[in-house]
Chains A and B, each alone.
Chain A
Amino acid sequence: MAINREGNGYTITFAIIMVVIVGGLLAVVSMGLKPIQQANIDNEKMQNILQSIGIKETDGITRDEAGKVFSIYITRRITINYNGEILSDKSVSDPIDPKDKLDAFNIDLRKEYSKFVKPIMNKTKGNKELLIENLKKSTDIHFPLFICEHNGSKYYIVSASGKGLWDDIWGYLCLQEDGKTLNGSVFAHKGETPGLGSKITEDWFQDQFVGKFIANDNGFTSVGVLKPGANLNEHQVDGISGATFTGIGVQEMLSRNLIVYYNFFKNHPEFSGNQPKEEDVIIETMASDSTLVSANDTIK
């Protein structure tokens, strides 16, 4: 008996068989390639962290190498919350467990921003005090801190995440032993304009942060991103022409994130070698940034 190819029974049977076969094949492909893909993602993160240190041994390190030498350089992984309380403290002898969500290495910077910080920023609508109050209350937001020991010096690798013109931006910065001087930086982005905003990942932009300070005699002062060509002081870097809003995004994310680490070092003098002076944090820098961010949102 010939099969009726136009019948409902045939059509439905065909569809079911096809979907089962295709689904099965996709599952096999996905499971088979998953370990390699995850290794790529982990190695890239290690590469970013190592490159941000700003020592010549890890400058320009490749992704595969980074995976091998990560534990040689990074000796301690700490997770803190907005108030500077230590939530997790792992040393080099503790292997990175992908299931331990509090391990500093497993903290997803983009998720921290888009899932936890952004809703709070949207809710507070640029109101600076309210934003800080809400950030302090949040139990979801985590800040990773990596400690690198190399040639007798300590380096603190801190993180920042925020929003550029189109999508998320994030990065790692390295502070010297005093907890104030920047030693290196690495930025990444999801969808900034190629050739314009995407230049935040280029060396000339990242290298500008080397030697800048995140604090002065009056307390915390974030690093500002100015229009190119301006006279720069020790808290300012050149922005990218044609990518003003990406620059504003970098500036906002630095001021919102670095202050957490600044306060942490201030309250934990055992980390930064010398006891910082007791001053209050300058509030103005962040207030102006929050308004800029809302302008950024409307543009999009």
Chain B
Amino acid sequence: MSEEKKESLFSKKNRKLITDPLNKINPVTIQVLGICSALAVTVQMDNALIMAIAVTAVTTLGNVVISLMRNIIPSRIRIIVELVVVAFLVICVDQILKAYVYDVSKSLSVFVGLIITNCIIMGRLEAFALGNKPWESALDGIGNGFGYGLVLIVVAFFKEFFGSGALTIPGLGKLVLVPESFFDFGYMHNGLMLLPPSSLFIVAIYIWVQKSRNPELIGE
């Protein structure tokens, strides 16, 4: 490869690979992928954080592996190859969580295994990693993982704050944010916030706010 063609590792184009999925092409709110787990693992902040990290790790590593293999994968079985790679990574993540953050792995339960079916991951492998070099693919994976994680964290913040009046941050434990005196005035936790449907409302409001701030996102 000639010198002039080589672009810097963090050129504008490469930076956009990370920043675009946070907003303009957010996998959850704009592409509406990976909604299922966004509804299920957002009851507590720490679950959402670990899930975001797990998905980011899987998209990034999956993208890199598939990108490295992109020239040798037989096109007829490429989906199967992608699935095997993703399944392998997810099982590794699951095993590592079970060994080192046992409590979180218990509360995430089946949703770690369900990362395999997270549409974002297969979508990025098909759409990006098969046609791009490993470094770009890694950035794309990080970007999309962060985009997914951002929505998860926002949703978890509102769900846990209004549902249990607290935020569970890894390392700090459960921080109770609603003072006892509120309850004397008749304040109550919103039980609906702890159930999956409330995530739909929050994601919908998120999309509303996002689109009203970025008029170019409103479709034809």
Contact = CB atoms under 8 A, between A and B. Distances in A.
A47 to B, nearest CB: 11
Interface stretch (A14-22, A150-158, A260-268): A14-22
A162 B40 CA distance: 25
B10 interface: no
A36 B164 CA distance: 32
Interface stretch (B49-57, B77-85, B122-130): B77-85
B80 A15 contact: yes
Interface in B151-208: 163-164, 189, 191, 194-195
A91 interface: no
B75 A196 contact: no
B191 A195 contact: yes
Nearest to B74: A11
Interface residues of A, number: 25
B74 A6 contact: yes
A190 B147 CA distance: 30
A63 B74 contact: no
Given A26-B91, A194-B194, A36 B76 contact: no
Contacts of B1: none
Give chain B's interface residue range (CB within 8 Å of chain A): 20 to 34
Interface in B78-129: 80-81, 84-85, 88, 91-92, 95-96, 98-100, 102, 109
A15 B75 CA distance: 12
A149 interface: no
Given A18-B84, A19-B84, A25-B88, A11 B99 contact: no
Contact of B76 (A6, A30, A242): A6
A300 interface: no
Interface string B1-43: 0000000000000000000000000000000000000000001
B73 interface: yes
B92 A29 contact: yes
A230 interface: no
B77 A15 contact: yes
A44 B95 CA distance: 17
Interface of B: 43-44, 72-77, 80-81, 84-85, 88, 91-92, 95-96, 98-100, 102, 109, 163-164, 189, 191, 194-195
15 contacts: A11-B76, A14-B72, A14-B73, A14-B74, A14-B77, A22-B85, A29-B95, A40-B98, A40-B102, A44-B102, A63-B102, A194-B194, A195-B43, A195-B191, A242-B191
Given A22-B85, A194-B194, 10 more contacts: A10-B74, A18-B81, A22-B84, A33-B99, A37-B98, A40-B98, A194-B43, A194-B44, A195-B43, A195-B164
